[in-house]
Amino acid sequence: MRPFDGRRILLGITGGIASYKSAWLARLLTQAGAEVDVVMTRAAQEFVGAVTLQALTGRAVHTELFGSAHALDHIELARAADLVAVAPSTADFIARATHGHADDLLSACLLATEAPILLVPAMNDRMWAHAQTQRNIAHARQLGYHILAPDTGPLAAGEGSGPGRMPEPETILAHMGRLLERPGTLAGVTVVVTAGPTREAVDPVRYLSNRSSGKMGVEVAAAAWRRGASVRLVAGPLSVPVPAGIEVISVETTAEMAEAVGAALPAADVLIMAAAPADFRPAAPATTKIKKRSAPARVELVSTADILVTTRAQRKAGAVIVGFALETNDVLNGGREKLAAKELDLVVVNDATEPGAGFGVDTNRVTIISRNGEEVALPLMDKRDVADAILDRVEVLRRGT
């Protein structure tokens, strides 16, 4: 899975209660295709066992700086790493690392590596707020270390809630992915992505919508963010989480989505319309709940705004515009018609009736059609990989090659 497949990750774990999350992070990295070398401090071993990490990664866990056949572990591990991440990073470890200490295997690896280094602080909120910790964090940034700031939330038992909580493994994984991507392929680019369904009220309780989870749009937004873009996600109700770092504008109706897209377009270098907005709405929504005994024989429907058409005037000159076409018959012709009618640079077409390629699944099979007539049919693959394939094509269009 891009960008982890075949990459070598050095995952450092220090002695904080948050280290229990590191086991899941190791698992996520391995599932993504990375080779994970875990280095644990002595304090970390008081919280989670090395055998747990070895079982999750399928690789030996490293704990000692000195010992038989371990004299050069810090050099070998440091040179092999494509990325070093220390999660959690305790206040003590950050202090030692930023002052050049090398009295354990993990701190020695930081001095010996040329790979990007990500520190993920996790500690008591008062320790995080202490002036010395903040000076150490500032020094770490000056040294070129990347810092993923802690979340605000419940701390260790009895310590209440505050800033200092280690971010969730999925968030850490997203930031690691950004550091592993090719340098700045979309750096400085503003990307607007739409995702999810919209809902059109029938009455205050019921609505018209569809089965979109929003996963495809969220994966596109996440992939653009990993590549360095500034990403704004205009989203209807989602069934999937959005990674940290992405600005989310939540909407309910198709009209609200059109308004939000129109407002964002003048600054957008790329628009990717991956949402599934409702095409119809009730002409006269009821103001109170419709009772069964007095239900109307029919509900009159009217068309909603076509977002790609109504926002055409707001497009930035030279912006790349990508649409999606979900069809159930005559699939490719439906995509070609949408490409022309809505003046798109690319349209991504898929068949809603195909198993594994419709709503509510993690995979998709699409054909990407370009304005020049080129058609690229992709095999059934994870939606994350589909997102990267789309952005690869967007980058080609932006380069003009």
- Kindly provide the b/e burial profile for residues 244-279, where b requires at least 16 CB atoms within 10 angstroms of the residue's own CB: bbbeebebbbbbbbbbbbbebbeebbbbbbbbbbbe
Q: Is 364 a catalytic residue?
A: no
- CA–CA separation, 308 vs 148, rounded Å? 36
CA dihedral in degrees (254, 259, 264, 269; nearest 10)? Answer: 60
**Active-site residue (options: 124, 136, 210, 364):** 210
**Which residues contact residue 108 at a Cβ distance below 8 angstroms, ignoring those fewer than 6 apart?**
65, 74, 78, 102
Catalytic residues: 210
